[in-house]
Amino acid sequence: MFAALEADLELVVRYRGGTLDRLLDERHASTVAAVVGALRARGWTTAVEVTFYHYGDLGSIDALAVHPVARIALVVEVKTEITSAEETLRRLDVKVRLGAGLAWERFRLPVTRVVPLLAVLDSTANRSRVVRLAPLLDPAFPNRSAALRQWLANPGAAGGGLLFVGVSRGKRGGADMSGPHRVRRRDVSDAGGP
């Protein structure tokens, strides 16, 4: 029925007065802030939540970045979880197609190329999902790890990729792109009482 009307159905889940919404939004916002901080440290000019409406395509880009020297635009899609690779690729394709115009609109900088970057919150579950989805994700995001970090610092011909982003709870806006991290659970039996 919705397809015939070219309409979308969007469900909103509320949990304990919006606590879940705030938690998910905070994780996403912290991940965006970490990526933006890392890009700015490498010479990129950035804007977050860049909205667009172009001939029926509408949405927002988590982070749009331009490198003023290389004249490259970077369209960053941030995911705290990868739920649908197909939907992620489809939406990112639209954003990359519109990237040059949005870069001019936002930064007044003509760019020669628009490159996608998928920034994923670093977790064991996300890393496992990326491995399972390799046939879909590898062609779209060939650069990873050290090669991608090097490209972000000095963008050249080939670029873009998939970046795992570690976000510390106590450090907002900082990015740790060194790889997976071990998290220790606090043993409540050892916690001292009042």
Task: Give the chain's domain count.
Answer: 1
Residue 192 has pLDDT above 60, yes or no: no
What is the CATH number for 49?
A: 3.40.1350
Q: What average pLDDT score do residues 73-90 get?
A: 94
Residue 184 lies in a domain: no
The answer to whether position 11 is within a domain reads: no
In a domain, 19, yes or no: no
Helical residues (DSSP H) of 42-123, grouped into ranges: 85-107
pLDDT of 156 = 82
Tokens of 78: 């941030």
Mean pLDDT (the chain, rounded): 82
User: Residue 169 above 80 pLDDT?
Assistant: no
Tokens of 127: 């890393």
Q: Note whether residue 57 is domain-resident.
A: yes
SS3 category, 4 = coil
Has residue 143 been placed in a domain? Answer: yes
pLDDT for residue 181? 40
pLDDT of 130 above 90: yes
Q: What is the pLDDT of residues 10-21, one digit of tens each?
A: 665 554 444 444
Compute how many other C-beta atoms are within 10 angstroms of the C-beta atom of residue 152.
Answer: 25
Report yes or no on 55 lying in a domain. yes
- CA distance linking residue 96 with residue 80, whole number of Å: 20
Q: How many CB atoms lie within 10 A of CB 110?
A: 11
User: What is the pLDDT at residue 96?
Assistant: 96
Is residue 98, in this structure, part of any structural domain at all? yes
CB burial of residue 144 (10 Å; 0-12, 13-18, 19+): middle
Does the residue 3 lie in any domain? no
State percent of the chain over pLDDT 90. 61
Percent of the residues in the chain that have a pLDDT greater than 70, as a whole number: 75
Residue range of the domain that includes 173: 27-179
Any idea what the Cα angle at residue 51 is, between residues 50 and 54, rounded to 5°?
Answer: 130
